[in-house]
């Protein structure tokens, strides 16, 4: 099997030769690294039939109730208050009671007739741009395991994140920006495992923006030195020491990644603040996202930032919205969260489309699982990994397509079930990568995002 590998072996240098090179500044060393990277990429199998160049993943942390958002069930309405008429799963997060009707009404929208809840009027208005997968399923009913399975393909072991695999397979479109950025990530339920490079070289890990004490800034993005030239001199000296150490140790991917990260950090300090600065966006664009309204402002600005990073060449951008875990107060919580999320998501997709970016940008929306059609307490739903909805837009997917179904009550994926492994295989395919060939040898075996699983969902491809 041909494997898509981007590893390289550095040429050992003597201390004298290294110091001579360092004397001309780290720029020459950086150029050497870039050329080596291009050489490695050129020797790898060329991506074929790529429809998407980049991904924006809108992650709804906590598990939105898609039977209340995209998957209406008339029998759930009719039989509300009655027991589930078939056996529920053997392993559950917690016990639930009888069937609970959705508090919200649905209408069909667009030429596709896609059903969307009254909670999401803006997403309903772009229904014909969306590809709904209504038969998603995964293997774990707990937040931590399901979240890691969605992001890494494994609910048990430490594995590289989806963004890291794509960054590893394709590289960055912009050498001054990281290839993988995660905006406002959660520190719980898998934490950094959701954007870690795992056993891949560290340079493929996600760069975190927000979700901590730094607000919406990349940590330490502003140099403490007033003059960039002084920082350049410091980096040149540090580069000489590090390269001397690398030459003495021999090939060391972790050390190589750390050396490269210093140079990338320097370039990021010059470019990231400008890309992040949304103050120069025109009023009509801010209004499109809802950045001019208090309810939607925070998530709108994050989605707008995601568009700017994606437009600037970041390969994989994730934006996290939370917290959808409505074990109780379903009506209040989903009303509030939907109001925060609806317009920014629709605004992002509309903005990408009108800029001509949606054709080669794949947008993915969804949580780590859905929620049960049975009630938890009087006004809540438990976790449901057995049948739920996610949607995609752009990037070579069929717009206005409903794919798959759940059963009459929305508990189990019934027609054309799609596991996270299948979703991952399809995303890689749209990016021009073969999920069976994108491998990395670690601990004596070849690993991949889909491991030994995954089938491309050909029916949703345009």
Q: What is the pLDDT confidence band of residue 46, given thresholds at 50, 70 and 90?
A: very low
| Residue 87, Cβ density class (10 Å: 0-12 exposed, 13-18 middle, ≥19 buried) | exposed
**Least reliable range by pLDDT among 37-46, 49-58, 127-136, 247-256:** 37-46
Q: Is residue 249 part of a domain?
A: no
Give the pLDDT of residue 186: 83
Q: Is residue 229 part of a domain?
A: no
Q: Is residue 266 part of a domain?
A: no
Q: What is the pLDDT confidence band of residue 206, given thresholds at 50, 70 and 90?
A: very high
Chain segment 172-193, per-residue pLDDT in tens: 898 889 999 999 998 788 788 9
Q: What is the pLDDT confidence band of residue 268, given thresholds at 50, 70 and 90?
A: confident
pLDDT at 41 over 50: no
CA 292 – CA 423 distance, rounded (Å): 35
**Least reliable range by pLDDT among 1-10, 262-271, 443-452:** 1-10
Give the pLDDT of residue 231: 66
Q: Is residue 107 part of a domain?
A: yes
Q: Is residue 222 part of a domain?
A: no
Give the pLDDT of residue 214: 54
Q: Is residue 270 part of a domain?
A: no
Q: What is the pLDDT confidence band of residue 158, given thresholds at 50, 70 and 90?
A: confident
In the chain, the percentage of residues whose pLDDT exceeds 70 is 83
Neighbouring CB atoms inside 10 A of 40's CB total: 14
CA 267 – CA 263 distance, rounded (Å): 6
Give the pLDDT of residue 11: 41
Q: How many domains does the chain have?
A: 1
Q: Is residue 39 part of a domain?
A: no
Segments forming the whole domain that contains residue 335: 52-215+283-460
Give the pLDDT of residue 27: 39
Q: 337: domain CATH number?
A: 3.40.720
CA 172 – CA 168 distance, rounded (Å): 9
Q: What average pLDDT does this structure show over 44-60?
A: 81
Q: Is residue 310 part of a domain?
A: yes
Give the pLDDT of residue 224: 65
CB 351 within 8 A of CB 45: no
pLDDT at 337 over 90: yes
pLDDT at 124 over 60: yes
pTM of the model: 0.84
């Amino acid at each position: 099997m041909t494997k898509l590998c981007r590893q390289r072996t550095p040429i050992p240098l003597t201390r004298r030769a290294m110091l001579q090179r360092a004397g001309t500044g780290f720029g020459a060393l950086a150029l050497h690294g870039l050329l080596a990277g291009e050489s490695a990429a050129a020797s790898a199998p060329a991506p074929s039939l790529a429809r998407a160049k980049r991904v924006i993943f809108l992650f709804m942390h906590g598990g939105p109730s898609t039977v209340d958002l995209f998957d209406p069930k008339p029998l759930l309405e009719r039989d509300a208050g009655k027991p589930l008429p078939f056996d529920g799963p053997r392993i559950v997060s917690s016990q639930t009671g009888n069937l609970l009707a959705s508090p919200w009404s649905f209408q069909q929208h667009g030429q596709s007739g896609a059903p969307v809840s009254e909670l999401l009027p803006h997403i309903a208005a772009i229904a014909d741009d969306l590809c709904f997968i209504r038969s998603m399923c995964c293997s774990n009913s707990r937040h931590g395991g399901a979240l890691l399975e969605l992001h890494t393909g494994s609910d048990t072991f430490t594995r590289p994140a989806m963004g890291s695999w794509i960054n590893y397979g394709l590289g960055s479109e912009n050498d001054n920006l990281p290839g993988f950025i995660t905006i406002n990530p959660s520190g719980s339920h898998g934490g950094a495992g959701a954007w870690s490079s795992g056993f891949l070289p560290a340079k493929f890990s996600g760069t975190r923006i927000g979700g901590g004490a730094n607000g919406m800034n990349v940590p330490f993005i502003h140099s403490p030195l007033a003059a960039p030239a002084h920082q350049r001199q410091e980096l040149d000296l540090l580069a000489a020491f590090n390269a001397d150490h690398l030459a003495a140790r021999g090939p060391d991917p972790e050390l190589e990644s750390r050396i490269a990260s210093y140079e990338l950090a320097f370039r990021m300090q010059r470019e990231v603040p400008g890309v992040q600065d949304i103050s120069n966006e025109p009023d009509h664009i801010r209004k499109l996202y809802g950045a001019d309204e208090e309810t939607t402002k925070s998530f709108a600005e994050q989605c707008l930032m995601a568009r700017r990073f994606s437009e600037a060449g970041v390969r994989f951008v994730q934006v996290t919205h939370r917290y959808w875990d409505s074990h109780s107060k379903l009506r209040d919580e989903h009303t509030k969260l939907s109001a925060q999320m609806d317009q920014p998501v629709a605004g992002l997709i509309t903005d990408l489309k009108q800029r001509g970016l949606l054709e080669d940008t794949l947008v993915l929306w969804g949580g780590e699982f859905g929620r049960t059609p049975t009630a938890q307490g009087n006004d809540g739903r438990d976790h449901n990994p057995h049948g739920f909805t996610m949607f995609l837009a752009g990037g070579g997917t069929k717009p206005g397509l409903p794919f798959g179904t759940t059963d009459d009550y929305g508990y189990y994926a019934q027609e054309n079930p799609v596991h996270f492994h299948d979703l991952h295989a399809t995303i890689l395919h749209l990016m021009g990568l073969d999920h069976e060939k994108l491998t990395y040898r670690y601990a004596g075996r070849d690993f991949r995002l889909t491991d030994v699983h995954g089938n491309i969902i050909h029916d949703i491809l345009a």
